[in-house]
Amino acid sequence: MPGLALKSEPRLAGWQHELGEASRQPGTLHGIVSGVFLPEFEHSLTSACTGHYPSANVMARTKDTAAPALPVLDLSAAEDPDRRSRLLEQLHDALFNVGFLYISNHGVPQETINHLTGLMPALFALPDGEKGKLSKMNSPHFLGYSGYAKETTLGQQDLREQFDLATELPVVYESPNDVNGGSGSSSDGRDFSKLYWRLRGPNQWPEVPGFKEAFIAYHDALQELSYRFVHLIEEAFAIPVGTFDHFFGRQQHQGPPREGSVTNGKPRDFLPPQHRIKLLRYPPASMSADDPWRGQGVGAHKDSSGWLTFLYQVGNEIGLSVLNTDDEGQRWINVPPVPGTFVVNFGNAFEAATEGAVRATTHRVISPGPFNKVRYSIPFFQGLPLDMTVSEIRQYIPEHVRSLRRIRGDDYDDGGVAASFLDPRWDSLGESQLRKWIRSHKDVGLEWYGKEVVDYYTS
């Protein structure tokens, strides 16, 4: 498969001035230049499956020649008629050739971001007993705290701890064996006895002063950003703006309804989905004999928790890298923090719905080395309705988009992660999400769903 369509730009002497003094600290943003594209660091590919990652010093090394670059989209151009068409061209290229990009001038107030990020050290400094009270083990919704190295990717522990929170929503699940005799069906015909509805529910809130208010303000700002960005994607797809709005419980679909996506002659409506946010802490490795540093903050993966991901990288610590595959082979390219930006990438469902035209790009995080600082990050995963299917989404993706992979001759790997949606069992977004969470947190699955259900979703 052709990989990231990465461009090269000459290094510019003014990059230090552009990004400030912080960019010149050891182990941070060396090699960044200003301009539309951001030259990245690069190093030779080490197999993601082996877990043998290069050291932080190797990762920070750059080549003498200009490095590849991920696109940086200035969203303020959307308000300027003279620049809007160029922005949509850049987005089109990022969607179909890259799969990863930065966005700047995104409209989320820096104060809103700082209010939440400023509370993260206090949040993770809570006593172990207090964090334990917030454990995911308490939540059938898989919301709450996961301790250090409690998750695995590619069979290895991820060297991080995290809080999973989401849109604050009430429980809607109704057991088919409800002692109160509930049928599980709502007045609009939804069957709330389906097990995946149990994923939807309230947060466990930590007792950190001001945290709940800061989180909700951040969540609401990112939710609105995600909806605005979806409208730009619709324009890049050359479909009516608002086509996907009803996916998010907003206004009804504005284009002509497609076969299989209508109820009583009109497009189906959906409950507003639950967006999820992770608050992540990657501590420096100890390098002790009992805890040798393996480097896996989180192993190589594609996002399976939403439609789009908006990542805010706190501070200057490098860690995120994206896998580039091209005619010369494979290599990992760093995606360092850039002040005032979010990193955007596309989930498995997006790739599957567009039949591989839009790329869900493999990425990973290298944990900080023994002499680095703690790394914090906050990914926002834009949710989709649990009672929707990928096949249904595909009906709203025009043929000229879905055919792009075939036209450009890509060797789309139908055996890849996104291809799980080709299995009729996982075409349902609710079923695929329940499967994802149970496979990631088998202990929570056993606690709340039982062995028979866990065996089904993990077999």
Q: How far apart are CA 37 and CA 42, in angstroms?
A: 15
Q: How many residues does the chain have?
A: 459
Residue 417 is given by DSSP the state G
| Burial class, 305, CB count within 10 angstroms (exposed 0-12 / middle 13-18 / buried 19+) | buried
Q: What is the reported pLDDT for 152?
A: 79
Residue type, 255: G
- Cα gap 408→400, rounded to integer Å: 12
Whether residue 432 contacts residue 421, with contact meaning beta carbons closer than 8 Å, is answered with: yes
Please state, in angstroms and rounded to a whole number, the distance separating the CA atoms of residues 49 and 62: 24
- Kindly state the tokens that stand for 172: 């809607």
Mean pLDDT over the full length of the chain:
80
Q: Measuring CA to CA, which residue among 400, 421, 439 is closest to residue 154? A: 439
Angle formed at CA 250 by CA 195 and CA 166, multiple of 5 degrees: 50
Q: Which residues are paired to 164 by β-bridges? A: 144, 278
* DSSP SS3 for 70: strand
| C-alpha separations of 138 from 145, 149, 277, 358, 436 in Å | 10, 19, 18, 37, 18
Helical segments of 20-173, H only? 56-60, 81-93, 110-117, 120-124, 128-133
DSSP state letters, 273-304: P--EEEEEEEPPP--BTTB----EEEEEE---
Distances (CA, A) of 121 to 109, 141, 208, 374, 377: 21, 25, 11, 10, 12
Contact 113, 122 (CB under 8 A): no
Burial level of 419, CB count in 10 A (0-12/13-18/19+)? middle
Helix (H) or strand (E) holding 399: helix 399-402
The one-character DSSP state at 30 is T
Model confidence pLDDT, tens digit, residues 380-418: 999 999 999 999 999 999 999 988 876 655 655 544 545
Give residue-wise pLDDT tens across range 116-173. Answer: 999 999 999 999 999 999 999 999 999 999 999 888 788 788 999 999 999 999 999 9
> In 3-state terms, what secondary structure has residue 366?
strand
Helices 429-440 + 451-458 axis angle, to 10: 100
Rg of the chain over Cα atoms, rounded to whole angstroms, equals 22
What does the pLDDT read at residue 247? 93
pLDDT for the residue numbered 229:
98
Token pair, residue 313, equals: 């990288």
Rounded to 10 degrees, the C-alpha dihedral 345/16/371/277 comes to: -30
Residue ranges in the chain whose pLDDT is less than 50 = 1-68, 179, 256-265, 414-415, 417
Phi, psi of 252 (to 5 degrees): -65, 155
Residue 153: the pLDDT is 83
Which residues lie closer than 8 Å to 216 by C-beta, 6 or more apart? Answer: 168
Count the neighbouring beta carbons within 10 Å of the beta carbon of residue 260: 11
Q: What dihedral angle (degrees, nearest 10) is formed by the CA atoms of 143, 146, 151, 157? A: 160
Longest dimension (CA), the chain: 72
3-state secondary structure of 239: coil
Taking the C-alpha atoms of residue 297 and residue 319, their distance in angstroms, rounded to an integer, is 8
Residue 325 pairs in a beta bridge with: 330
Identify which of 318, 375, 320 has the alpha carbon closest to the alpha carbon of residue 343.
Answer: 320
CA–CA dist 430, 432 (Å, integer): 6
What class is the 15-168+203-458 domain?
mainly beta
Tokens of 366: 């290298």
Residue type, position 62, single letter:
T
Q: What is the pTM of this model?
A: 0.82
Torsion of CA 405, 411, 417, 423, to 10 degrees: 80
**Residue entry with tokens 């083990």:** 137
To the nearest 10°, the Cα dihedral for 58, 11, 17, 99? -70
